[in-house]
Amino acid sequence: MSPSPSPAAIAVENRLFGALAVLRVVVLVNAVGLNIYRRGNFDHPVAAVVCVAVMVLWTGVAIWAYRSPRRRTALLLVADLALAVALILLTVEVKGADFRATIPGSWIIGALLAWSAHYRWRGGLIAGVALAAADLSRRQELHQSDYGNAFLLVLSGTIVGFLCASLQQMAAEREVAERAAAMATERVRLARAVHDGVLQVLALVQRRGRELGGEAAELGELAGEQERELRRLIQAQDSVAPSNGTVNVTAELARLERLPGVTVSTPGFPVDLPALTARELVATARACLDNVKRHVGADAPAWVLLQAYPDRVELSVRDEGPGVPAGRLEAAAAEGRLGVSESIRSRITDLGGTAELSTGSFGTEWEFVVPRERGLGSSA
Amino acid sequence: MSETEAPAPIRVMVVDDHPLWRDAVERDLIQAGLDVVGVAANGREALARFPAARPDVIVLDLQIPAPDGIEVTAEVGRQNPDVRVLILSASGEQADVLAAVKAGATGYLVKSASREELLAAIRTVAAGDPVFTPGLAGMVLGEFQRLSDAPAVDPSEPRLTERETEVLKMVAKGLSYRQIAERLVLSHRTVQNHVQSTLRKLQMHNRVELTRYAIEHGLDTEDS
């Protein structure tokens, strides 16, 4: 029944015994005061003085002894309880058979709680029963209040013991959780180091390949693809989506960088949106990019920017058509591109947002604003 | 200094724990006529060597043996704010890049950038101008957005002006400084100044935050 030697559990016990030390002094002062107040009740005043002196002495010894976990042996606890029981039993000799209050009075709570703290609920029960039995055994007549006090003694010893055990268990669990978290952090750190090494080599192969040309350039190209892929994976893993039906849209958008020429910019923090809203936004961006590929060129550069505000998100997709002058939109309409643009627009308006297309010397730019929370289709 | 005399080559220090990579970068820089005044394989070496090497630009890998790239950036800035730091990161991990920029880095590139991109970035950084990729601009925008959403603790906290936000947004959308200047009818220099000032405000905010943290935790008093 000895407590598990987990450092967290020992720390909890130390704190409990620290508090108990204060309590011991309080109940001692109370007991000494009461005995002085009732000094007329003693048949043997000298014996009474000896008893009180023993209580004072033992309180000091107990406070010192319980301070160190090493000294909290069965011997100490048994001695503590035995002394409390003995003082109760001696009351009848010192005060006479008609005594009402025992000499130690509430001082015995020190021993009771020591058993609760050290041996949990079983210890509290045993100590409570022992003290209650000693108290009741020497009384001539049993008052209702005597029984009530004894019952409370047993009950509180057990409950405090149970609470002590719970505290120790919680502390131990927290310690395990902290260790697990520290290990996870360390694992992430190691994974980073490994990934970083791989990325370095891939980037180097890509670079050297480009310089050497020929077949080496092809190898370098392959390494470059893998490098981009791995980097995206790491970033996506960094922003693991929460499991409450929302999706981190920045991680989803980052996947679009797989398309040639596409750059995606997002805030550095995760932006969680309802799954449907996120899906529609990504699909919209993809539709815009497909449009760019078709009408500007397969490798044409394009930029996706996501901005997150508390009440809305703003998504922009820009391409760099070669300095298309005014009238591009009309031209686009003539080419039949407006049909595509209408389908893009309706995706966003279905989400309760707005879509705007502008064009000029800077290229063509879609700007979408979608409200957060209140999105019409966000009930997914 | 006569007109014909070429300007002194840019002094560069390369910090990277991968010897192959370090050599490749060094070779490229020397070929391009830059002066590689020092190399280091970890943060400790970098901090020990940079005062004597007196580089204009430190090309710094983020993931190096301790102290890491972020700490080195902060320490270099403390010792000599004139030295520019260009971060070259393999993973481009967002949190790390943002932390490095907050610590005082002037530019950031992923390692897969081409030789030409690297050289252009070093020249830009050496001239005191920031190298902002659209990705970094997006992150910085997000950071200022997050700050302005938070309840204002201190009215002196740096905020972006509307113009700065506009310029940064355009950088994030992939427009070049020249294109931004054209679109906003500003000079190229003004656009650069706006970008530079967003970076300065971000770094200033970082210092304000650190100071507040220190005061809250009693680190500013001697007996803590």
Is the model's pLDDT at A151 over the cut of 70?
yes
B172 contacts in chain A (CB < 8 Å): 265, 303, 305
Q: What is the ipTM of this complex?
A: 0.81
Residue B67 lies in a domain: yes
CA distance B133 to B114: 14
Contact criterion met (CB < 8 Å) for B90 and A316: no
Q: How confident is the model at residue A71, as a pLDDT?
A: 92
More confident residue, A295 or B142: B142
Contact criterion met (CB < 8 Å) for B91 and A231: yes
Q: How confident is the model at residue A236, as a pLDDT?
A: 65
Domain C-terminal end among B129, B163, B188: B129
pLDDT-above-70 percentage for chain B: 89
Q: Give me chain B's average pLDDT, please.
A: 85
Range A115-127 average pLDDT? 94
Using CB atoms, pick whichever of B94, B142, B174 lies closest to residue A263: B174
More confident residue, B128 or B72: B72
Q: Return the HEC string of B74-118.
A: HHHHHHCCCCEEEEEECCCCHHHHHHHHHHCCCEEEECCCCHHHH
Bridge partners (DSSP) listed for residue A363? A360
Residue B6 lies in a domain: no
**Spatial CA neighbour of A80 closest among A17, A33, A35:** A17
Is the model's pLDDT at B5 over the cut of 70?
no
Range of the domain at A75: 7-179
> Is the CB of residue B31 less than 8 Å away from at least one CB of chain A?
no
Express each pLDDT in B34-47 by its tens digit: 999 999 999 999 99
Number of domains in chain B: 2
The separation between CA A268 and the C-alpha centre of its own chain, rounded to angstroms, equals 23
- Chain B: give the shortest CA distance to residue A105, in Å: 45
Same structural domain for residues B41 and B87?
Answer: yes
Number of domains in chain A: 2
Residue partners of A256: CB distance under 8 A and separation at least 6: A262, A264, A282, A285, A286, A289, A304
Same structural domain for residues B114 and B172?
Answer: no
B141 contacts in chain A (CB < 8 Å): 267, 307
Q: In chain B, what are the helix, strand and coil shares in percent, each to the nearest 5?
A: 55, 10, 35
Domain C-terminal end among B95, B111, B129: B129
User: Could you tell me the pLDDT band of residue A162, with boundaries at 50, 70 and 90?
Assistant: very high
More confident residue, A257 or B85: B85
How many residues appear in chain B? 224
Return the CATH number at B78. Answer: 3.40.50.2300
Residue A302 lies in a domain: yes
Same structural domain for residues A168 and A248?
Answer: no
More confident residue, A250 or B216: A250
Nearest CA in chain B to A359: B183
Q: How confident is the model at residue B3, as a pLDDT?
A: 46
Q: How confident is the model at residue A337, as a pLDDT?
A: 55
Report the range of poorest mean pLDDT among A55-69, A242-256, A277-291.
A242-256
Q: How confident is the model at residue A19, as a pLDDT?
A: 94
Express each pLDDT in B76-101 by its tens digit: 989 998 999 999 887 767 778 888 88
Residue B223 lies in a domain: no
Using CB atoms, pick whichever of B24, B134, B138 lies closest to residue A207: B24
Q: How confident is the model at residue A86, as a pLDDT?
A: 94
User: Could you tell me the pLDDT band of residue A23, with boundaries at 50, 70 and 90?
Assistant: very high
Name the token pair of B149: 């959403």
> Is the CB of residue A266 less than 8 Å away from at least one CB of chain B?
yes
Return the CATH number at B139. Answer: 1.10.10.10
Q: How confident is the model at residue A372, as a pLDDT?
A: 87
Residue A280 lies in a domain: yes
Contact criterion met (CB < 8 Å) for B145 and A301: no
B24 contacts in chain A (CB < 8 Å): 204, 207-208
Contact criterion met (CB < 8 Å) for B93 and A203: no
Range B131-156 average pLDDT? 80
Same structural domain for residues B44 and B95?
Answer: yes
Domain C-terminal end among B129, B147, B180: B129
Q: How confident is the model at residue A339, as a pLDDT?
A: 61
Q: What is the CA radius of gyration of chain B?
A: 18
pLDDT-above-90 percentage for chain B: 38
> Is the CB of residue B217 less than 8 Å away from at least one CB of chain A?
no
φ, ψ (nearest 5 deg) of residue B65: -55, 150
Q: Quote the DSSP letter at residue A326.
A: T
More confident residue, A334 or A232: A232
Is the model's pLDDT at A116 over the cut of 60?
yes
Range of the domain at B164: 135-216
Q: How confident is the model at residue A166, as a pLDDT?
A: 93
Q: How confident is the model at residue B153, as a pLDDT?
A: 61
> Is the CB of residue A199 less than 8 Å away from at least one CB of chain B?
yes
Is the model's pLDDT at A265 over the cut of 70?
yes
A365 contacts in chain B (CB < 8 Å): 173
A231 contacts in chain B (CB < 8 Å): 90-92, 110
Residue B95 lies in a domain: yes
Contact criterion met (CB < 8 Å) for B173 and A303: yes
- Chain B: give the shortest CA distance to residue A322, in Å: 13
- Give me the torsion for CA of A16, A22, A27, A32, rounded to 10°: 150
> Is the CB of residue A361 less than 8 Å away from at least one CB of chain B?
yes
- Chain A: give the shortest CA distance to residue B21, in Å: 6
- Chain A: give the shortest CA distance to residue B10, in Å: 23
